[in-house]
């Protein structure tokens, strides 16, 4: 597989380490009310879609960027790749 | 027998042997053609029935002629004789026969064929159950065999490489050549790969003229032009075996398979080809027509007969017959006749078959039987009027052509039925970027293939954004096949469909009767198409037979798709040379050279090669060495290279905040110039890794991880930085390899270090336990000093830029002679940390928690750190196993890590399990074996005696529960 790195262009998937669902970005607040339930959801309850999936890949043998790759799990077609940092920053800006 | 002509080099005769007998052939021969030239028709025994078998094809689809090639460590089973290029001294041996090919004792299976029909494995060997593993399976495995392995290491070198291209053309026949030429002329970067040793494909096997030239002449001038195109890479002997995601193709180049020994080149190379577009021009495979006893040596594809005659100037017999349902069988007869082979008859199932040459054509007829014990002697030809036996030594069978749709289905693309061609052709679901051309698309006649290849090139160029140039096609004769389907000859007896797995029409009928009708059931019940050839010559025919039985059409009956690899490839080439020391990168510690000169014994720790211990003259056993290293360290001073521990440099205005969220214990309160132990949890609350966190400046930290987890910890830290808290001002870099780090520990550690550091006060007051500093050593070399100890003695770790590591090690040892300095390896390191009760990888195994490690109170509830919330969940809080020390009542008793703990007198079963020993060592300090263990309610059980059970080795050791710290429990040595 080839992953279109937003900074480096097409890179071989062998350079990356896979983590999983990009919902891992949405870490709950550990000091908030209901944190145990929120963490239970965060850690254990994931969707497993047959189709489009947003997932985290780490460019470990490269520039060490975490990417969010949008991939169709049925065809392996990669629809989009972006820096996880940008996505997280945008999400935080929206939340404020 | 050898004929005239051919593309062989008669000036280069080659000697070879088959089953110990010597023969001769010519350069350009394959093993198959050379055997046929020497009138060897019998080359193997079939898989199940041990029937005599001969060469069936002239290409990589060969189901029968599998032989063992070479001898000794280079022996290679299951090579297809049709693909083996002859070389001087080649040794080949037949397979699956005993004691000899001509007399095979297991041919008796053939007489019991009624018991060995479809599904017989499932039916026959069901009872008694215990017999399967011990009796049935070994017998079946021995009887139903392919070749045997040498059981020796492969002496040859394999390699792998990467290629990139605009366009990959798969197959170098007429279509592929046109495609590659057209695309390369327009400027595309093109790779043309063909599995054969020569380009040309069927052009080499047939007698067409192109622009009035013979195919050989035309190819020669074309290859001349191809060689002039710098943007075209031609790869012969290269099989594209798989189409993978995103335009990646796997290919194996058989670099030296055609040589007796590879010399200094690799035997084979695995290529990973990334191509923006591809053109599949893999040709078509001729199908046969099953009839009674159609598996005798000498019966083969008519296209193979033709290829042997035209390319290799060989005929399996002086008198041959053809059985066909289309015009191509007549072409074969014409070519053979022209070479002086007698044509006994062309048996054509079509009533209106043409007369294309001076030979007997029997129209509206079928071959209904054959005779000949080890090779064909005669065939029975039947037609409505009656039947006759015709003597012939070979029979070419042509049932039409199956486009080679193997690679199109690697992404689950299904071929579709073409009712006009009576064949499956590539459907719309192709691997992305792929175009199919030529016979692989069903456009197999020469004029169509040339045109189709050129068109595919134009289409691909457009997709690549390149301007195609007009490509003139050579002038060739236009010919049609005029096929009238005949899928099998009805009648009694056994008619083979799948030669390699011995599946007959009868077996398919049986599967039908037993309701194994869907294709996937049919395959598994009969094993059809499941041999190493993946049913290249049998799948479609089997579908047709099943369709006839069910009364459905062939496409309604189903399709079969193929998986990589296209043809079998060796595991050695998939390894691509990554064996032995090349299996993975090997990292050497900075003091490696020094350790080597001191005779260190090394051990692999992940990718690292670390000094395990340093034997001295007179030490007979590693334990002696390790005991000495431990005692000398605790008595004087010991030095150990600890560079392999992961180091991450953390800088930024928010570095403190970042680390506070990363470690479960507080980090923000750490003062500049101090070090703190830190425990990281996984978000699920389990312990992840531990290490130290040193604050070198207000916004500058260096944190360490265990050696094994250095990679994962860094990854985790980057995840936290980029994905969880990107708003924090913090930067990370792994500096594990940048700094050489040595542990200097023991009562004399301070005195020794004072001799290397420049003007620094190391007194306890100026540089107390857990202090850290940037300083210089050895007259100006920048260094970092940490007062930390893994072994429990007065200890420091000193770090210098990696390139000075070897020199610093030597310097420390030199300067420490009078202080009793000793170097120690990972074994002594392990012993001393167990003596001190420090957790390491064995304790941080991913299943333990801070609470189990006795550090439950370290997890701060005042802040939100990774894993903190989940570490407090009831399931983990209720866990009562905690880390304790253990000592056997008898100090001589061995303690084995992994032993499970039971109360004295308890029945040793899972329900009574009270924990396990995680680490064990012999402690020279205690003069006893000792262990660390996780024990149920361990904190409350000091002094109790428990049993450590090691049932694998029959050991039951009575042990006393003691505190984890065996050395200096008050920590006076550390802080002194």
ipTM for this prediction: 0.98
Contacts of A19 in chain B (CB under 8 A): 719
Alpha helices in B667-792 (DSSP H): 710-719, 749-754
**CA-CA-CA-CA torsion for B571, B575, B577, B579, nearest 10 degrees?**
-100
pLDDT digits (tens, 9 = 90+) for B961-976: 999 999 999 999 999 8
Which of B735, B869, B859 has its CA nearest to residue B802? B735
Which of B911, B928, B916 has its CA nearest to residue B966? B928
Which of B155, B248, B260, B252 has its CA nearest to residue B573? B252
The answer to whether A56 contacts chain B (CB < 8 Å) is yes
Contacts of B245 in chain A (CB under 8 A): 1-2, 76
Name which of A64, A69, A81, A91 to mutate to probe chain B: the one with the most chain B Cβ atoms within 10 A of its Cβ: A64
Residue B96 binned pLDDT confidence (cut-offs 50, 70, 90)? confident
Higher pLDDT, B662 or B578: B662
Contacts 24+ apart (CB under 8 A), B501-507: B501/B47, B501/B48, B501/B526, B501/B527, B501/B528, B501/B529, B501/B530, B501/B531, B502/B46, B502/B47, B502/B48, B502/B49, B502/B51, B503/B118, B503/B527, B503/B528, B503/B538, B503/B542, B504/B290, B505/B290, B505/B545, B506/B117, B507/B117, B507/B118
β-partners of residue B947 are B902, B958
Count CA within 13 A, CB hemisphere, residue B971.
Answer: 8
C-beta separation of B364 from B239 below 8 A:
no
Distance CA B5, CA B558 (A): 44
The per-residue DSSP string of B164-183 comes to EEEEEEE--SHHHHHHHHHH
Listed in sequence order, the residues at least 6 apart from B135 whose beta carbon sits closer than 8 Å to its beta carbon are none
C-beta separation of B771 from B673 below 8 A:
yes
Measure in Å the smallest separation between the Cα of A62 and chain B Cα atoms. Answer: 12
- The mean pLDDT value of chain B amounts to 94
In this structure, what DSSP letter does residue B136 have?
A: I
Tally A–B CB contacts below 8 A. 72
Q: Which helix (H) or strand (E) segment is B951 a member of?
A: none
Residue B187 pLDDT exceeds 90: yes
Distance CA B393, CA B1 (A): 11
Higher pLDDT, B97 or B761: B761
pLDDT digits (tens, 9 = 90+) for B17-58: 999 999 999 999 999 999 999 999 999 998 888 899 999 999
Measure in Å the smallest separation between the Cα of B68 and chain A Cα atoms. Answer: 36
Residue located via tokens 């039925």: B417
Residue B365 pLDDT exceeds 90: yes
Taken as a whole, chain B contains a residue count of: 976
- Contact state of A65 with B722 under an 8 Å Cβ cutoff: yes
Residue B142 pLDDT exceeds 70: no
- Contact state of A2 with B722 under an 8 Å Cβ cutoff: no
Listed in sequence order, the residues at least 6 apart from B115 whose beta carbon sits closer than 8 Å to its beta carbon are B124
Write down the pLDDT at residue B141.
63
Residue B137 pLDDT exceeds 90: no
Average pLDDT over residues B744-768: 96
Distance CA B282, CA B243 (A): 13
Average pLDDT over residues B99-105: 81
Distance CA B435, CA B278 (A): 6
Domain A2-95, second-level architecture: 2-Layer Sandwich (3.30)
Distance CA B603, CA B685 (A): 33
Chain B nearest-CA residue for A84: B723
Measure in Å the smallest separation between the Cα of A78 and chain B Cα atoms. Answer: 9
Q: Give the lowest-confidence range in B108-122, B141-155, B371-385, B574-588.
A: B108-122
Radius of gyration of chain A (CA): 15
Write down the pLDDT at residue B144.
59
Which pair of structure tokens corresponds to residue B721?
A: 């930085």
C-beta separation of B958 from B945 below 8 A:
yes
Burial grade of A9 (CB within 10 A; 0-12, 13-18, 19 or more): exposed
Write down the pLDDT at residue B396.
98
Radius of gyration of chain B (CA): 37
Q: What angle do CA B668, B671, B676 make, to 5 degrees?
A: 75
Write down the pLDDT at residue A94.
85
Residue located via tokens 């993946």: B534
Write down the pLDDT at residue B102.
83
Count CA within 13 A, CB hemisphere, residue B70.
Answer: 21
Distance CA B309, CA B303 (A): 10
Measure in Å the smallest separation between the Cα of A33 and chain B Cα atoms. Answer: 11
The answer to whether A84 contacts chain B (CB < 8 Å) is yes
Distance CA B687, CA B843 (A): 9
Taken as a whole, chain A contains a residue count of: 96
Measure in Å the smallest separation between the Cα of B194 and chain A Cα atoms. Answer: 24
Q: What angle do CA A9, A10, A16 make, to 5 degrees?
A: 105
Distance CA B467, CA B185 (A): 10
Write down the pLDDT at residue B124.
61
The answer to whether A23 contacts chain B (CB < 8 Å) is no
Residue B133 pLDDT exceeds 90: no
C-beta separation of B938 from B915 below 8 A:
yes
Distance CA B323, CA B362 (A): 9
Listed in sequence order, the residues at least 6 apart from B144 whose beta carbon sits closer than 8 Å to its beta carbon are B47, B48, B96
Residue A95 pLDDT exceeds 80: no
C-beta separation of B298 from B376 below 8 A:
yes
Sheet holding B646-651, edge to edge: B675-681, B687-697, B700-705, B646-651, B731-734
Listed in sequence order, the residues at least 6 apart from B890 whose beta carbon sits closer than 8 Å to its beta carbon are B958
C-beta separation of B132 from B122 below 8 A:
no
Write down the pLDDT at residue B139.
67
At residue B36, the 3 state secondary structure works out as helix
Which of B47, B23, B32 has its CA nearest to residue B104? B47
Which of B524, B491, B412, B509 has its CA nearest to residue B122? B524
Give the C-alpha distances (Å, rounded to integers) separating B202 from B118, B252, B307, B413, B584: 36, 21, 8, 26, 43
Listed in sequence order, the residues at least 6 apart from A84 whose beta carbon sits closer than 8 Å to its beta carbon are A22, A25, A56, A65, A66, A67, A68, B722, B723
Give the C-alpha distances (Å, rounded to integers) separating B656 from B79, B130, B646, B667, B704: 64, 65, 19, 7, 15
Average pLDDT over residues B602-628: 96
Q: Which helix (H) or strand (E) segment is B464 a member of?
A: helix B446-464
Measure in Å the smallest separation between the Cα of B724 and chain A Cα atoms. Answer: 6
Contacts of A76 in chain B (CB under 8 A): 245-246
Contacts of A56 in chain B (CB under 8 A): 719, 723
- Contact state of A36 with B873 under an 8 Å Cβ cutoff: yes
Distance CA B23, CA B35 (A): 8
Higher pLDDT, B104 or B956: B956
- Considering the entire predicted model, what is its pTM? 0.90
Which pair of structure tokens corresponds to residue B507?
A: 């077996």
Distance CA B9, CA B659 (A): 74
pLDDT digits (tens, 9 = 90+) for B887-941: 999 998 989 999 999 999 999 999 999 999 999 999 999 999 999 999 999 999 9
Among chain B, residues having any CB pair with chain A shorter than 8 Å are 244-248, 274, 411, 432, 683-684, 711, 715, 718-719, 722-724, 726-727, 863-865, 868-870, 872-873
Contacts of A66 in chain B (CB under 8 A): 718-719, 722-723
Residue B775 pLDDT exceeds 90: yes
Chain A nearest-CA residue for B661: A30
Which of B761, B766, B788 has its CA nearest to residue B640? B788
Of A31, A42, A66, the CB nearest to B723: A66
Residue B512 pLDDT exceeds 70: yes
**CA-CA-CA-CA torsion for B780, B781, B787, B792, nearest 10 degrees?**
-120
Q: Is the dihedral of CA B55, B60, B66, B69 positive or negative?
A: positive
């Amino acid at each position: 597989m080839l992953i279109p790195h937003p900074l480096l262009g097409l890179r071989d998937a062998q350079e990356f380490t896979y983590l999983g669902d990009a919902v891992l970005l949405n870490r709950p607040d550990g000091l908030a009310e209901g944190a145990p339930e929120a963490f239970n959801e965060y850690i254990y309850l994931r969707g497993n879609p047959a189709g489009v999936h947003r997932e985290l890949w780490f460019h470990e043998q490269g520039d060490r960027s975490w990417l969010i790759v949008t991939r169709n799990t049925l065809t392996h077609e990669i629809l989009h790749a972006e820096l996880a940092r940008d996505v997280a920053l945008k999400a935080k800006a929206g939340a404020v | 027998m050898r004929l005239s002509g051919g593309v062989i080099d008669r000036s280069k005769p080659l000697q070879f042997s088959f089953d110990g007998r010597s023969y001769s052939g010519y350069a350009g021969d394959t093993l198959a053609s050379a055997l046929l030239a020497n009138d060897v028709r019998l080359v193997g025994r079939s898989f199940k029935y041990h029937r005599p078998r001969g060469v069936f094809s002239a290409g990589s689809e060969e189901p029968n002629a599998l032989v063992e090639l070479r001898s000794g460590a280079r022996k290679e089973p299951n090579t297809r004789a049709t693909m083996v290029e002859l070389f001087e001294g080649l040794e080949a041996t037949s397979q699956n026969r005993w004691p000899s090919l001509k007399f095979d004792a297991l041919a008796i299976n053939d007489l019991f064929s009624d018991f060995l029909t479809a599904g017989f494995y499932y039916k026959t060997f069901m009872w008694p159950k215990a017999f399967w593993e011990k009796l049935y399976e070994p017998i079946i495995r021995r009887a139903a065999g392919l070749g045997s392995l040498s059981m020796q290491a492969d002496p040859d070198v394999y390699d792998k490489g990467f290629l990139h291209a605009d366009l990959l053309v798969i197959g170098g026949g007429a279509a592929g050549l046109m495609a590659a030429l057209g695309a390369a002329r327009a400027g595309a970067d093109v790779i043309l790969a063909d599995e054969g040793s020569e380009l040309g494909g069927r052009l080499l096997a047939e007698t067409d003229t192109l622009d009035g030239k013979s195919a050989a002449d035309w190819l020669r001038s074309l290859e001349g032009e191809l060689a002039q195109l710098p943007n075209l890479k031609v790869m012969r002997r290269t099989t594209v075996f798989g189409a993978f995601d995103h335009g990646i193709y796997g290919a194996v180049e058989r670099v030296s398979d055609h040589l007796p020994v590879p010399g200094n080149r690799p035997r084979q190379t695995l290529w990973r080809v990334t191509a923006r577009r591809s053109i599949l021009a893999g040709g078509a495979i001729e199908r046969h027509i099953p009839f009674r006893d159609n598996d005798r040596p000498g019966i083969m594809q008519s296209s193979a007969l033709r290829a042997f005659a035209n390319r290799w100037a060989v005929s399996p017999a002086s008198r041959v017959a053809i059985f066909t349902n289309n015009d191509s069988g007549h072409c074969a007869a014409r070519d053979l006749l022209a070479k002086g082979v007698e044509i006994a008859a062309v048996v054509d199932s079509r009533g209106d078959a043409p007369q294309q040459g001076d030979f007997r054509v029997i129209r509206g007829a079928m071959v209904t039987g054959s005779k000949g014990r080890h090779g064909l002697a005669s065939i029975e030809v039947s037609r409505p009027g009656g039947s006759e036996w015709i003597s012939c030594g070979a029979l070419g069978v042509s049932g039409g052509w199956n486009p080679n749709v193997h690679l199109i289905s690697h992404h689950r693309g299904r071929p579709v039925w073409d009712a006009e061609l009576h064949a499956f052709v590539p459907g719309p679901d192709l691997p992305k970027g792929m175009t199919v051309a030529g016979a692989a698309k069903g456009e197999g006649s020469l004029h169509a293939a040339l045109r189709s290849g050129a068109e595919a090139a134009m289409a691909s160029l457009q997709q690549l954004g390149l301007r195609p140039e007009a490509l003139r096609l050579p002038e060739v004769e236009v010919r049609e096949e005029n096929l009238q389907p005949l899928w099998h000859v009805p009648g009694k007896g056994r008619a083979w469909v799948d030669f390699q797995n011995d599946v007959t029409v009868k077996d398919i009928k049986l599967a039908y009767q037993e309701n194994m009708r869907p294709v996937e059931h049919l395959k598994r019940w009969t094993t059809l198409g499941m041999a190493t050839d993946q049913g290249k010559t049998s799948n479609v025919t089997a579908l047709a037979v099943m369709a006839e039985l069910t009364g459905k059409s062939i496409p309604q009956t189903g399709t079969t798709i193929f998986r990589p690899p296209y043809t079998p490839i060796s595991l050695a080439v998939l390894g691509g040379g990554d064996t032995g020391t090349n299996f993975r990168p090997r990292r050497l510690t900075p003091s490696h050279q020094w350790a080597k000169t001191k005779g260190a014994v090394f051990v692999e720790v992940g990718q690292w090669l670390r000094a395990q211990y340093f034997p001295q003259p007179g030490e007979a056993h590693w334990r002696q060495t390790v005991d000495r290293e431990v005692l000398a360290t605790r008595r004087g001073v010991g030095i150990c290279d600890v560079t392999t521990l992961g180091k991450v440099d953390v800088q930024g205005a928010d570095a403190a905040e970042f680390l506070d969220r990363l470690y479960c214990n507080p980090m923000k309160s750490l003062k500049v110039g101090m070090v703190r132990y830190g425990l990281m949890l996984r978000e699920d609350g389990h312990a992840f890794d531990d290490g130290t966190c040193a604050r070198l400046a207000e916004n500058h930290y260096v944190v360490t991880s265990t050696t094994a987890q250095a990679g994962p910890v860094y990854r985790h830290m980057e995840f936290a930085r980029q994905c969880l808290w990107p708003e924090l001002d913090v930067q990370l870099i792994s500096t594990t390899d940048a700094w050489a780090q040595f542990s200097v520990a023991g009562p004399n550690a301070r005195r020794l270090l004072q001799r290397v550091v420049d003007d620094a006060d190391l007194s306890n007051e100026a540089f107390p336990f857990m202090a850290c500093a940037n300083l210089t050593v050895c007259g100006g070399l920048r260094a970092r000093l940490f007062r930390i100890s893994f072994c429990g003695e007065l200890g420091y770790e000193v770090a210098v830029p990696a390139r000075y590591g070897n020199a610093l090690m030597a310097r420390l040892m030199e300067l420490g002679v009078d202080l009793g300095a000793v170097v120690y390896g990972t074994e002594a390191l392990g012993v001393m940390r167990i003596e001190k009760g420090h957790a390491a990888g064995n304790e941080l195994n991913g299943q333990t928690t801070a609470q189990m490690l006795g550090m439950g109170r370290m997890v701060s509830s005042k802040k939100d750190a990774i894993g903190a919330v989940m570490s407090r969940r009831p399931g983990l809080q209720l866990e009562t196993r905690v880390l304790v020390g253990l000592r056997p009542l008898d100090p001589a008793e061995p303690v084995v890590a992994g032993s499970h703990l039971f109360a004295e007198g308890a029945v040793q079963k899972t329900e009574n399990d009270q924990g396990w020993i995680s680490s064990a060592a012999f402690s020279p300090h205690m003069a006893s074996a000792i262990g660390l263990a996780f024990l149920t309610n361990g904190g409350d059980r000091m002094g109790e005696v428990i049993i450590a059970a090691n049932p694998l080795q029959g050991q039951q050791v009575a042990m006393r529960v003691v505190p984890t710290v065996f050395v200096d429990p008050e920590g006076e040595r550390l802080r002194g």
